[in-house]
Structure 1
């Protein structure tokens, strides 16, 4: 065994006797995904002192690569990191990864409730632009959504300068986004603006007339004008 290339996942809140084989297998699978370097990392045993999942790595280069990957996955909320955090949250365990000198390499958050789920994708949101500011390379931009919620975005200084000309107007912004799901609800965590468009809202009377005059529409004979107005408002007309 590589005595100087050891890593231990220390699970607080349990012991080797309390950890079932099935659950141990899930933790080892998640840990293997987090570490990577599958041919160089070896499982040794589970020891006392909470439940300590002990591993060792073939050589210094692979050992350093495992540490770097683990920290990188944690910083980026990578899938293998979230897999471990999910298991810990389900069991209510605290955990950390330590080396052979008992130095903490990575400490996991203590979560005893539904784990927030983060998705990164191309996305878009729209609302009233009411804040463009900052003096750094990444300027904060805020939009007010239809339900009064705040959409937190970021833009380059050049993009922020363009957006500044449209304060208090309705805009739609698009770009790389992070969405947080918790308690069954999605919330925008952040959107990096890559493009935008100003949304022109129709005057209610103008929109009504356009719909009324449109060929082939069924609303000319509609007796309930209030229903029409409600439908127009639902389409974000003023």
Structure 2
């Protein structure tokens, strides 16, 4: 009969006597998320020395848990990969490293404090334009803010002048708009680009026709149009604009 798998997660920062209970619970929760099969993975205990968290995986679930562990670092198993990243970030914040072993054999390393992080960049001022539905407009000072929601459900808050705000107010929850202006962008330690402020100086009302309707317009263009070297992406943008077309 095949025995249950025993995993040991070592946290090279605390001892069992010094690790805060709340922090230990956080590590256990993310470790369980990485393993998956939560009903068949059990807490087995702590070993002395560096904090060593022991987990027992029932033999029926062992193959699936092994696949999750293998796919955690590679990113092939999305949920396990997310838990791996969170565990590694926790170790980094605790100025620690970690490792996961199964039956005494190392199967996964967590660089933690040794993780190479991309340098911060910026902020930079860069032109920006966003398309979406205006869902909020207002403000009490000399400037106002216009918030649009794009097709993916993301919201973007632009600072606008009071004069522009008055014009935009007519399109609240109306036709899609394109707000254009500039923003302050920076790259954080995670390598992700973020913005600290956006300011719109103009807007354009877009055609709210569906993508299918737009493609229908393109198909209806004369064949000679394609011989003129027309950029299809720019064509899609122009056809969304009010009164847009190809000359």
TM-score when normalising by structure 2: 0.45
